[in-house]
Amino acid sequence: MSSPRRVSLLTLGCARNEVDSEELAGRLAAGGWELADDPESADVVVVNTCGFVESAKKDSVDTLLAAADTGAKVVAVGCMAERYGAELAESLPEADAVLGFDHYPDLAERLGEVAAGQQIAAHVPVDRRTLLPITPVARPAASAGVTVPGHGWGPRVLRARLDDSPVASLKIASGCDRRCSFCAIPSFRGSFVSRPPEEILAEAAWLAGQGVRELFLVSENSTSYGKDFGRAHGGTRALERLLPRLAGIEGIDRVRVSYLQPAETRPDLVRAIATTPGVAAYFDLSFQHASEAVLRRMRRFGSTASFLALIDQIREFAPAAGIRTNVIVGFPGETEADVDELERFLSKARLDAVGVFGYSDEDGTEAEGFDGKLDEEVIAKRVARISGLVEELTAQRAEERVGESVDVLVEEVEDEVVGRAAHQAPEVDGACVLIDADDVQIGEIVRCRVVDSEGVDLIVRPDADR
């Protein structure tokens, strides 16, 4: 009897890619492939690439080249493969195949062909926004013939866990209808499509059965969830209806929402996230800048005043809510006054975490053709300037939490006991280091008191009567 074929999955990029990799793992396992942790022991290495920004593309290429050094067959999937397809295949002969999203349902068969030495034509990219109707409510009926990773499972759960973490990402939607001038994601992820609530709930219950205690809801734009359902299924209020149902699943202790668009963050949604039992009072708001002039060139809405009003609204419901954002500096046409305005906003906002990125051109975006481009040296200086301010401000915000009570989900118990409070998302935010906590278990929620801070990290001690 021949040994089962072995495949190793390597994942780059965001939490959405991590979910896609677990879907691929489930499909491959169902197709007779054995999942291998070590690429050195695999027949085929599948690299789930990221194609978001230049540094992520470089990481993807480096990972593909390293995988080729193992002697295994190498297959590129994911956002970079979807975005560049045949162009990537031509420039990277070390990859035995470059496959797009449309190959996902039959990936087990395609890998079998690769393992047998057969040539598979590289994916030919299209603008995936053209695959579905412009009108969101017309999409559910039309989406049956379009492959959207993480969608269309029905009552099945086409997923296999690739780790034993007590937290797991759960995709609620894919794609984006916004047209931010700097972002290429909609062109290769497609138009916005929500997953049906029952499909999400079934996957959430399955994850709970796998030992997951925190659900991290991901999408390109969670505030749009349900807009393609129509009023009968909740419409744009669908997320408010979904959250308590997810929080009520046996075994789930915490539900966290990510990727909120400030312009679409309605008061009812703020209230639902801030006050629903079992839902983390956590707001991942994509501000991107605070200068109105820069935001308009970005094709975004908002201002320092409107953003601060939203933050005030959040803290009226939940004074200790976690709030994070990302900002881009060095955007074409950005002036020193614009940077001053961003500094003013950040200083007033008291955010828990801020990702600072320097602008770079992205293929096919509107901003690629803008005038007013800044020198790389100027952009680097502005990144350093804002990053220094952010480091100071977020450390101050963490220090303000000394004395608070926090519920910490324990995730590591080796050299240190480490976990996360409700205001801390996986990987992108700070963490809690527990002291005097030798008897805790991974996956346990521990009531703690914050006794100190180190940068954005908190030092916490379990309550005596926990």
Q: What is the dihedral of CA 314, 320, 325, 330, to 10 degrees?
A: 100
Amino acid at position 339, single letter: V
Q: Report how far Cα 191 is from the mean position of its chain's Cα atoms.
A: 17
Rounded Cα–Cα distance for residues 18 and 258 (Å): 14
Half-sphere exposure of 24 (CA within 13 A, CB side): 31
CA–CA separation, 165 and 410 (whole Å)? 10
d(CA 450, CA 434): 9
- 65 closest CA partner among 39, 26, 41: 39
Which positions ≥6 away from 214 have C-beta within 8 Å?
166, 167, 168, 252, 253, 254, 255, 256, 409
Of 238, 207, 212, 242, which is closest to residue 225 (Cα–Cα)?
238
Identify which of 243, 127, 248, 245 has the alpha carbon closest to the alpha carbon of residue 189.
127
Q: How many CB atoms lie within 10 A of CB 7?
A: 27
Report how far residue 284's alpha carbon sits from residue 181's, in angstroms, rounded to the nearest whole number: 21
Establish whether 432 is an annotated binding residue: no
Residue type, 183: C
Looking from the CA of 194 toward its CB, the CA atoms found within 13 Å total 23
> What phi, psi does 418 have (nearest 5°)?
-125, 140
What DSSP letter does each residue of 69-96 carry, written as one string? Answer: TTTSEEEEEHHHHHHHTHHHHHH-TT-S
Nearest to 449 by CA among 461, 435, 433, 434: 461
Does 448 appear as a known binding residue? no
Q: Residues annotated as binding site for [4Fe-4S] cluster?
A: 14, 50, 79, 176, 180, 183
Q: Enumerate the known binding-site residues.
A: 14, 50, 79, 176, 180, 183
